[in-house]
Amino acid sequence: MRLIGQGAMSRVYLAERVATNETVVLKLLDGTLANDEESIQRLIREASLVSGIKSPYVVKIFEQGFTNKYGFIAMEFFAKGDMKQRLEQGLSIKAAFIHFLHLMRGLDVVHKAGIVHRDLKPANIMFRTNDELAIADFGISKRMDATTQLTQVGSLLGTPAYMSPEQISAQPADHRADLYSAGVILHEMLVGRRPFIADSFTGIAMQHLNSPLPPLPEEAKAFESIYQRLLAKEPEDRYQSAEQVVNTLMTMIKRRI
């Protein structure tokens, strides 16, 4: 095994699945948290949420379980890296359109499975060898009808640069929060940077809550209405489903953007 990443609650390794000899990503719950009930429940929840989804646009979970020392999830390895790396290189308008359409199809599947991702960002959008896109890292995701409270009310979950106004305000958030995050990613795909940038949480939070959106450049104007609607401050003013976004994008294809 080779360590490839580490977070507050887990370590991530590249490993080989003995049954198939394929390379997998192994996420191990930190040993110090092995007896922590909340951490264990988070790991179980992440695996159970994703394992029931069968879609090319969502990460595949092969196995999950516990040993005497560790909790673990074995999932697919993405040889082509993540969206964050691609954004650093820059995307053409055509590539941005294709990737965003696939992202919305994936989000549609996730939402129809009753799941809110809650941390959608470029680092959690992965690419397979054949260049297929898949949504990954459901570590803080939840079911839309979940009643179990694993996080204190009023606490913040997610990545501030991609958070919806309701998440930043620590208010209840549903699938439309994911659509807001997708709008931030769309701007980044088209322009090469996020619509709101600040050096502090307070700075970025105030922009998400109060600042008007910067317009898209001329070469990306075909996306302006989608971008504006995804990033509406109020959830009621956004698209109400990822499927609606997919339908709008397909209409754009027919019009040959």
The predicted-structure confidence for 183-219, as pLDDT tens digits, reads as follows 999 999 999 999 999 999 999 999 999 999 999 999 9
**Where in the sequence is the domain holding 18, given as residue range(s)?**
2-76
Residue 32: pLDDT band with limits 50, 70, 90: low
If asked whether residues 110 and 18 sit together in one domain, one would say: no
If asked whether residues 137 and 244 sit together in one domain, one would say: yes
The predicted pLDDT at position 52 comes to: 85
Q: What is the CATH number of the domain that holds 51?
A: 3.30.200.20
257: tokens are: 């953007």
The predicted pLDDT at position 16 comes to: 87
Length of the chain: 257
The predicted pLDDT at position 6 comes to: 73
Which of 26, 60, 76 terminates a domain? The answer is 76
Q: Which of 82, 108, 119, 178 is catalytic?
A: 119
- What percentage of the chain carries pLDDT values higher than 90? 65
Q: Is pLDDT at 104 greater than 70 in this prediction?
A: yes
Query: Average of pLDDT values for 9-35?
Result: 79
Q: What is the CATH number of the domain that holds 142?
A: 1.10.510.10
Catalytic annotation on 119? Answer: yes
If asked whether residues 237 and 164 sit together in one domain, one would say: yes
Residue 126: pLDDT band with limits 50, 70, 90: very high
If asked whether residues 60 and 173 sit together in one domain, one would say: no
Average pLDDT score over the chain? 88
The predicted pLDDT at position 120 comes to: 97
pTM recorded for the entire structure? 0.89
Q: Is pLDDT at 35 greater than 70 in this prediction?
A: no
The predicted pLDDT at position 148 comes to: 44
